[in-house]
Amino acid sequence: MVAARRNPRRLRVADDWAGAGTASVGMGAWWGAADRPGSDRWPIATGRWSHVSGSAVDRRLPPRPLVARDRPPHCYAPHVSDEVPNHAATDPAETNSTLQAAIDALERATRAIVGELDVERVLQLIVDSVRDLVHARYAALGIVDGRGGIERFITSGITAEERAAIGPLPRGRGLLGLIIREGRAYRIPDIAAHPAGSGFPPNHPPMHAFLGVPVRTGGAPIGNFYLTDKQGGDPFSERDQRLVEMFALHAEIAIQNARLHGRVQRLAVLDERLRISRDLHDGIIQGLYAVALSLEDVPDIMVDDPADAAARVDRAIDRLNTSIGEIRSFIMDLGTDAEEVAFGARLAGLIDELLLTSGGRMVVDHDLREAIGIDESLSMETSSQLLQIAREALSNAIRHSRAGRVVLSFRVDGDRAILTVEDDGQGFDVHAPRRAGHLGLSNLHDRAASLGGSVRIDSQAGAGTRIIASVPLSNAESSSP
């Protein structure tokens, strides 16, 4: 093989990546896993190689990506190494193969961590991936505490039992502390021979070759990669260091993404608490407050107007029962995700609720076959209001009708959903004024009207009651483009 002659006026290309030579354009080894040479995303740079024979050979080289010049200078700090110098010349075909294999390995490692949103899982995947990337026996990610110490230490290649036998986490002394303080990468062929080494605690596995690389987010250090003992016994190479440094950039993004996802989840919990607080305040609490106001004068009018006093008490009982149903609904919605429970299953849950409330004194029949699989045709608002109508109608049956049997059914008639609740109770005259107010019946009409539907109530004294709610399968708001 002919020896290469380097032109000092041209930027040297790292031997481990592209062979000995010079490039006629500025480039370095900093490109991401997705930035393959020859891809549509990046153009190919042309390198010119000068040989002692005086001939020049053009060679295609991977370009320098834009991110390189945007990184802070300390990301490119020189490493400490006692390795032998790189070979001066390599076979071009072998070099291309080695480069492609390194990029493939980096891409596999990067793919392993993208898309994971749990912080704990992301950190462990990162450590496992970086160990596999450079074929190290052991790897760790030390998260710094901002005071020069280590607050967390995620490991790979060591069992939980072995880690427990070692004892407390490292505190950031020795070589680990050196990288924390100086914020740059280190490659060391033998840990024991380095002056910064502080030895190992009892039960710690022996380690020799060492590679340490900082990991940063937003320019601030969050931790460091620590890798030891490359498979085969060789020391870590400059290519290994650059692979880990490039992977650190992807690890930074994955950690930031997972942290942001965690913050979004916490904000979602806070938002849900605020929603519940508003619903309780604007609905249930206001209703209870109105009941209290309506009963304040009852002691004073019991003698002068006992009928009015009795009517107020009846209305208060109706409103309190409605509030009880709303509180029960809140509890059920908090216990499950309404979007994950099918409409038919939630209707069936109302039957269980009714049986529990009646203490077994009532027979409940149902026909909910057409409610199965109807969820795609019902908006969330429609299904929610239908459930509230069913709950109110069933509640009225148990509180007022003195019924022994109740039937709940659901069917689809063209583009409308039909919900029916029927009982064999004492019934009432739907045209007669209702002394107790029957607030629940008014709520039924209001809920159906909000969906563009209607409620029909059929009843007469001694003949039971039938409540039929008819609403569009999708309300106007949900079906609008």
Distance between CA atoms of residues 79 and 81, nearest Å: 6
Residue type, 351: I
pTM over 0.75: no
Give the pLDDT of residue 365. 85
Contact in structure between 457 and 465 (CB atoms under 8 Å): yes
Give the pLDDT of residue 145. 80
> What DSSP state is assigned to residue 3?
P
The stretches in the chain having pLDDT less than 70 are: 1-99, 102, 109, 112-117, 218-219, 275, 278-283, 286-287, 329, 332-341, 353-361, 433-440, 474-481
Give the pLDDT of residue 33. 35
Give the pLDDT of residue 93. 55
What stretches of 359-434 show up as alpha helix (H) in DSSP? 380-400
Give the pLDDT of residue 474. 67
Query: pLDDT tens digits for 136-190?
Result: 999 999 888 877 788 888 899 988 888 888 888 787 778 888 888 888 899 999 9
Coarse DSSP helix, strand, coil percentages of the chain, rounded to the nearest 5 percent: 45, 20, 35
Distance between CA atoms of residues 376 and 48, nearest Å: 63
3-state SS assignment for residue 198: coil
Q: Which domains does the chain have, with CATH numbers?
A: 1-70 (no CATH), 85-185+198-279 (3.30.450.40), 337-479 (3.30.565.10)
CA 71 to chain centre: 29
CA 112 to chain centre: 17
Distance between CA atoms of residues 404 and 23, nearest Å: 92
Distance between CA atoms of residues 358 and 30, nearest Å: 72
Query: pLDDT tens digits for 367-407?
Result: 888 888 787 778 888 888 898 888 888 877 877 778 888 89
Residues with Cβ within 8 Å of residue 64, at least 6 apart in sequence: 25, 26, 27, 28, 30, 31, 45
Distance between CA atoms of residues 145 and 142, nearest Å: 10
Three-state helix/strand/coil letters over 352-377: HHHHHHHCCCCEEEEECHHHCCCHHH
Distance between CA atoms of residues 58 and 49, nearest Å: 6
